[in-house]
Structure 1
Amino acid sequence: MNSDSLERTVADVAIIGAGPAGAVAAALLRKAGRSVLVLERQHFPRFSIGESLLPQSMAYLEEAGMLQAVVEAGFQHKNGAYFVYRDQTASFDFRDKHSPGWGTTYQVERAVFDDVLIRCAAAQGADVRFGHTVRAVQTGATPVLDVADEADRTYQVEARFVLDASGFGRVLPRLLNLETPTRMPARAAIFTHVRDGLALDAADRNKICVATHPERRDVWFWMIPLAGGRSSVGCVAEASFLDVQEAQRDATLRALIQQEPTLNRLIGAAPFLMPVRQIGGYAANVARLHGPGYALLGNAGEFLDPVFSSGVTIALRSAHLAAHTLNRQLDGATVDWSADYDVPLRKGIDTFRAFVERWYTGELQDIIYYPEQTPSIRRMICAVLAGYAWDESNPYVADPVRRLNALHEVCKAG
């Protein structure tokens, strides 16, 4: 069919993906009076991993007019994280941190959380279309998307700009060949939900538990208490360590949980509430985060690792930066997407990367469990763990590699 004969929808901004980045970007653009079309391949609610938010995210939800809906959704409160390795423990309260701002957040079932956010965006006037797949894109001053609905009816979307918030679907990186090798090793995660039945004093439900395997410091577990007596539990390791057939996943995760004393005490034989799922090869990167007529948000651009729950925070930060940059552009200002979006977004990503890389070498674990922690430095580390990876008043944000390396030398000498 000649493309000129296709039905055409026109919008100021087309957003690919209705996850947190897409929803927040849509809301911020609608607040500025833009017409916004959100194209989502799936139907919501749908399962997604990444259930432990960071406090930094709350400011972006508040700015997008979504805070009340999130507060009223009944999610599990979160105020920090605690780490476990053999007989060592370390607890961080995100309210006691270097950076100003929110010190609490939520641990969420993403199916519900994502649905709440996109419905807020729709209530603010975004045109949200579920079950619509972007098949092709023409970039440029007026980008055009080729879209198909579930009945395979095709149409085109003409926009003044396109934001790709497609997450692990990575629509524009695939269509435009933007993928580039990531520095992160190939890792995988297996995970499920359990009916934990925790006694009130058995664990702090307001904190995520991150436990290191007692024999392998590069293998770690998460336990995220959720509302209603459920917990999300998973194991992350090099992909080869978790290379098992689908039929073996339940037994593999159960055996791994029983090898870690704290999780075995908290979960033990608690029934799995869904078949164990696996995700692998999630670390990703792109040659650039923007181009003629488009920008990439959140996981569509780069994803590091789940260890510090940075994914949603990076996604919302990218939505905030992109929406503000794009609003200025649509108002007629000359913007520099590299200076105004790419560089500042990557600053925080690079901070998280420095922490993630040193987690797997064991250096950050040495720092976290060091018994003689200086209170001011502890608050600086806590601020990054709380998501404040863009606050350059924090030396561990301004120069994370050098500062962490020096701090590890002190801990090692001690």
Structure 2
Amino acid sequence: MPATEATTSAAEHWDAIIIGGGPAGSTAASTLAMAGRRVLVLEKAKFPRFHIGESLLPYNRKIFDDLGVWEKIAGAGFTKKRAAQFVMGNGSRANRLDFSKGSFTEYPEAVQVERAKFDDILLHHSREKGAAVREESTVIEHRVEADRVVIKYRAVDGSEHEVTAPYLIDASGLTNFTANRESLREYYPGHKKIAIFSHFSGIDMPTGEEEGDILIVRREKSWCWLIPLAPDKTSVGLVIDAGDFKALGKKPQEVFDEAMADTPAISKRFGNARISEEMHVVADFSYKNETLVSPRVIRVGDSSGFIDPMFSSGVLLAMTSGQQGARVIHEALETRKPLTAGMKRYEKDNRKRIAIYWEFIDNFYKFHFAQIFFQPYNRWGLVCSINAVLAGRTTLSFAVWWRLRVFFFLAWLNKHIPVAKRIKVS
């Protein structure tokens, strides 16, 4: 039976300590607690709290089922997401990927979530499964010793405490706590972006069978998302190159407003738009870490790296890494070795998952790729293979793999030979 915080507060020694209570951290906590491990989560915020990354993928469902949390999510009233629409900024073309129609896609739908509510559900679930959760607890120091990790944190009342465990799971998100202390962060070349976003009411979103679809709008050098969270609440964001933003010499609100106004595919939906949440800005958010595992430390979620949210992969990748990372730590606790084969396997697997989406992201900004992507041609099931990945399938069968390789080869070839009809893609 997992220990609770009340029964272990005097000991302050745990099987594992997790920094961060977001989707990666709470998934890791629930997984370890369900395996009978004594786990402590240190979360700097007080939940619920605002967060971006609101569009989930169908393959999240498997993890929800593994954690036993699906009924809570299904009963929370979140918007159903059956498809993703990729739209040209000029409004001339759109590519709708219906998850229920993909030959290689096992899960037909997902949900659009308000992260404040969604993350709170996951963290409360971790508590119910036996994990100890301390909110408003800011980690200020970590030290790796021969047989343990020592963590110092500051509680909400200003008091400082020390806790220990054989292993640490860093799920600190963009804070990237342990990696930054070890100077491991590396930015993707040419992908320094700024995201400007907020929640709005009055947005004219698709209805009927397209109700609940996320809209990804491609502009010439940037892109926008529109995510329906509720009948009259839509998350809208602009992702723009940091250099382009700086060259404009304007405030984020001005840049955002001008982008909405001069993008026909969006401006037609913004006639009655009213902002309902303060404008948020996140800068330089696409990065990777030189290593995802160190002696007695494993990094999951955004602490293992963060990529452009264009294909809504963030929560899926975070929870998948949190689950695998926790399982690896559960195994490591049998030997208590500082660095195990399982930890190294986790790093390899996580990099593979991220690479699948990075290939799409890196190419989406390129003219020759967009020419193919916005003129879908399902011969040999190529579109079905894309559908599977964009639905969240990260373990690729050979049938999916070879089709993706053909698709990306055709996109590359299109740069040199007009494989697809030349169309305007901005």
TM-score, with structure 1 as normaliser: 0.91
> Are 1:404 and 2:408 matched, yes or no?
yes
Q: Distance in 1 between matches of 2:403 and 2:80?
A: 32
Q: Is the CA contact (8 Å cut-off) linking 1:54 and 1:309 kept in structure 2?
A: yes
Q: Which residue of 2 aligns with 1:3?
A: none
> Are 1:92 and 2:97 matched, yes or no?
yes
The structure 1 residue matched to 2:319, chosen from 316, 319, 325, is 316
- Note the 1:2-401 alignment, pairs <5 A: 9-85=12-88, 86=90, 87-140=92-145, 141-183=147-189, 185-196=191-202, 198=204, 201=207, 204-213=210-219, 216=220, 218-243=221-246, 248-332=251-335, 335-337=340-342, 339-374=344-379, 376-396=381-401
The 3 A distance-change label for structure 1 pair 371 and 113 is closer
The 3 A distance-change label for structure 1 pair 199 and 44 is closer
Q: Is the CA contact (8 Å cut-off) linking 2:152 and 2:163 kept in structure 1?
A: yes
- Per-residue displacement from partner, 1:223-278 (whole Å, max 9, x unpaired)? 00112410001111101333499994333322211212121112234111123221
The 3 A distance-change label for structure 1 pair 181 and 235 is closer
Q: Is the CA contact (8 Å cut-off) linking 1:182 and 1:284 kept in structure 2?
A: yes
Q: Is the CA contact (8 Å cut-off) linking 2:196 and 2:256 kept in structure 1?
A: yes
The 3 A distance-change label for structure 1 pair 303 and 173 is same
What residue ranges of structure 1 are gaps of 5+ in the alignment?
1-6
- Per-residue displacement from partner, 1:194-249 (whole Å, max 9, x unpaired)? 10353764893321101112xx1x31111001124100011111013334999943
- Larger mean CA deviation between 383-392 and 399-408 belongs to 399-408
The 3 A distance-change label for structure 1 pair 9 and 400 is farther
* Secondary structure of residue in 2 paired with 1:404: helix
- Larger mean CA deviation between 146-155 and 75-84 belongs to 146-155
Q: Distance in 2 between matches of 1:127 and 1:391?
A: 36
* Secondary structure of residue in 1 paired with 2:396: coil
What letter is aligned with 1:160?
P
Q: Distance in 1 between matches of 2:297 and 2:418?
A: 46
Q: Distance in 2 between matches of 1:43 and 1:230?
A: 23
* Secondary structure of residue in 1 paired with 2:16: strand
* Secondary structure of residue in 1 paired with 2:278: coil
RMSD: 2.4
Q: Distance in 1 between matches of 2:189 and 2:246?
A: 21
Q: Distance in 1 between matches of 2:97 and 2:314?
A: 19
* Secondary structure of residue in 2 paired with 1:266: coil
The 3 A distance-change label for structure 1 pair 184 and 145 is farther
* Secondary structure of residue in 2 paired with 1:117: helix
Q: Distance in 1 between matches of 2:35 and 2:270?
A: 47
The 3 A distance-change label for structure 1 pair 373 and 400 is closer
| Deviation, structure 1 residue 80 | 1.5
What letter is aligned with 2:179?
P
Q: Distance in 2 between matches of 1:253 and 1:232?
A: 13
Q: Distance in 1 between matches of 2:121 and 2:30?
A: 12
The 3 A distance-change label for structure 1 pair 412 and 304 is farther
Q: Distance in 1 between matches of 2:209 and 2:273?
A: 15
Q: Is the CA contact (8 Å cut-off) linking 1:351 and 1:400 kept in structure 2?
A: no
**Aligned residue pairs: how many?**
404
Q: Is the CA contact (8 Å cut-off) linking 2:205 and 2:211 kept in structure 1?
A: no
Q: Distance in 2 between matches of 1:249 and 1:226?
A: 23
Q: Distance in 1 between matches of 2:352 and 2:406?
A: 15
| Deviation, structure 1 residue 407 | 4.4
Q: Distance in 2 between matches of 1:387 and 1:412?
A: 30
Q: Which residue of 1 aligns with 2:423?
A: none
What residue ranges of structure 2 are gaps of 5+ in the alignment?
1-9, 421-426
